[in-house]
Amino acid sequence: MLNSQALQKIEVLAQQVAKQEGCRLYDVEFVGAAKNRTLRVYIDNPGSGMDVDQCALFSHGLSLLLDVEDVVPGDEYSLEISSPGLERRLTKDWHFEEVVGKKIKIKSKSPFELIEGEYKPKNKPKHMTGLLKALEINENNKNIIIEAENRVWSLDIDELFSARVIFELKSQKKTSPNKAGKKESQKNKGKKRS
C-alpha cells in the first residue's frame, strides 16, 4: 500500500498530465501487494468522453513523470489508465455534487439518520440505493441526503465504505411508424382537396 503523501504526489503529477492532455483527473487508487500491485488512474472528459488514444497518451505522459519522480517505492507495479465508467465510484465531494439527482448505491460504517418519514425497525440500514438529493457541507461535517424507501436519509460522507452511481437506461416513448401513418391519414380524411 501507498501512504497518503505518496498518493497525493501521484494525484499532483496526474493533474499535470491531465491538463496537458485536455482531460480531467477523476480518481486515483493503488491496490494489491507484493508483485501484484496496481496503480489505477481514472480520467474523463465530461464533454466528449475518452477514447483509447487519449488514455494511451495520458499513460505515456504519467509513466514518464512517475519514473522521474520515483514516487512509488518498492517492487514493480502496473499502471492502468481508464475512464471511471457509467457506474463510477464516488469518493470526492465534487463527485457527489456532479450526480445530485441521480440514483446511487452506498454502503456505510454506521447507520443512516432518518430526516423525513417514519422508520420503526430496530436496525437502521447501513446500505441503501436511492436518489441523491443533496450534498450538504458545513464546518463540522459533510452529509449526503438520499431519498429511498419513501423516506429521506442523511449520512456523513466520512462514514462511507463505498458509493457508486447506478446507471439507468432512460426509456423513451416512441410512436411506431404504422401508428404515426394512421394518425396522419385520419387527419387528411377530414380536409377538403381543391
Residue boundaries of the structural domains of the chain: 4-82, 93-165
- Whether 80 shows a pLDDT value over 60: the answer reads yes
142: which strand partners?
137
Task: Quote the percentage of the chain above a pLDDT of 70.
Answer: 83
Q: Which fold has domain 93-165?
A: SH3 type barrels. (2.30.30)
* Cβ contacts of 18 within 8 Å, gap of 6 or more: 24, 25, 43, 58
* Ramachandran sector of residue 34 (left: φ over 0; alpha: ψ -120 to 50; beta: rest): left
Stretch among 41-45, 118-122, 129-133, 176-180 having the lowest mean pLDDT: 176-180
Collapsed DSSP state (helix, strand, coil) of residue 27: strand
Could you report the per-residue pLDDT of 90-132, keeping only the tens digit for each? 999 999 999 999 999 999 888 777 787 665 555 566 888 999 9
Residue with cell 501507498: 2
Half-sphere exposure of 194 (CA within 13 A, CB side): 0
- Whether 148 shows a pLDDT value over 50: the answer reads yes
The confidence score (pLDDT) of residue 188 equals: 41
Residue 128: count of CB within 10 angstroms of its CB: 18
- Specify the CATH number of the domain 4-82: 3.30.300.70
pTM above 0.85, yes or no: no
> Per-residue DSSP letters for 74-123?
SS--EEEEE---TT-B--SHHHHHHTTTSEEEEEESSPPEEEES---SSS
- Tell me if 4-82 shares its fold with 93-165: no
